[in-house]
Structure 1
Amino acid sequence: MTEDTPQTLIDRLDDLLETERSALLAGDLETIASLLARKEALIDALNRMQPNDRGALEKLHEKVTRNQALLDGALQGIRRVAARMAAMRRIRRSLETYDQSGRRQVIEGEVVHKVEKRA
């Protein structure tokens, strides 16, 4: 097995970050998760070598920052969907109204879905 040079690690990490970006834009969460271990290993290897190519490292940093912003946006979207689904479940279980004096009232109830067969 050949030993990695700082430049080969930088190139491999650059390719991986582009793959991660594509997966983030496509919403491919499985691919994103599968890339994490490889990305961490490449970053650890680069940290051990302490490469001197400052320009290449700055470009990698920009890509990592860009991907982190995309990932944060994806996570925010997932949280919003989860909150919306929870609100929809809550709405199905009860109805919230206000009485004449403005006090909130909750009318409990569960929607029963059943099919009736007729001959």
Structure 2
Amino acid sequence: MTNEEFEDVIDALDDLLEAERSALLVGDLDEIGRLLERKESLIEQLSALEQAEHQPLVDLQVKVQRNQVLLDQALEGIRTVSRRLAALRRVRSSLETYDEKGERRTIDVASDGSVEKRA
């Protein structure tokens, strides 16, 4: 692969990492998914290079690490929302209280889905 092809792959990967960062910052998970295939392809091309200048790779590594931190934070946010939704579902289906001995008791609330109207 020529030096020009090497620079083209580096530039394309650099642009993709910037696009990925932008998508992460706005929470566009669909765009992140779309970028993944292209990212994998560029990384494969980069690994196939025989000659590699060191500095462009270091610069890309910094961007990859930066994006990884953002991805980790996005995943933690999703996990937090998931835990909160699970807690809300539990609240709707049961009531937790304590008895006179201070022991926790769970009372299941049966919901038959019907509503009774009274005049």
* Superposition TM-score, scaled by structure 1 size: 0.89
For the residue of structure 1 that corresponds to 2:52, the secondary structure is coil
CA contact (8 A) 1:13 1:42 kept: yes
Paired with 1:46 and 1:19, the residues of 2 have a C-alpha distance of: 18
Instruction: Give 1:99's aligned residue.
Output: 99
Does 1:7 find its partner at 2:7?
A: yes
Q: CA RMSD in A?
A: 1.9
Instruction: Give 1:55's aligned residue.
Output: 55
Q: Give 1:52 deviation, angstroms.
A: 2.3
Does 1:31 find its partner at 2:31?
A: yes
Paired with 2:69 and 2:116, the residues of 1 have a C-alpha distance of: 48
Q: How many residues align?
A: 115
1:25-46 Cα distance to aligned partner (Å, 9 max, x none): 0000000000001001000100
Paired with 1:115 and 1:40, the residues of 2 have a C-alpha distance of: 57
Paired with 1:28 and 1:117, the residues of 2 have a C-alpha distance of: 48
Paired with 2:101 and 2:118, the residues of 1 have a C-alpha distance of: 45
Does 1:82 find its partner at 2:82?
A: yes
The one-letter amino acid of 1:95's match is L
The one-letter amino acid of 1:89's match is R
Paired with 2:95 and 2:39, the residues of 1 have a C-alpha distance of: 48
The one-letter amino acid of 1:46's match is L
Q: Which runs of 5+ in 2 are unaligned?
A: none
User: Which stretches of structure 1, 4 residues or longer, exceed 6 Å deviation after superposition?
Assistant: none
Instruction: Give 2:65's aligned residue.
Output: 65
* Superposition TM-score, scaled by structure 2 size: 0.89
Q: Which runs of 5+ in 1 are unaligned?
A: none
The one-letter amino acid of 1:66's match is R
Q: Give 1:113 deviation, angstroms.
A: 6.5
For the residue of structure 2 that corresponds to 1:49, the secondary structure is coil
For the residue of structure 2 that corresponds to 1:100, the secondary structure is coil
Residues 19, 113 of structure 1: alpha-carbon distance in 2 compared, 3 angstrom cutoff: farther
Paired with 1:50 and 1:100, the residues of 2 have a C-alpha distance of: 75
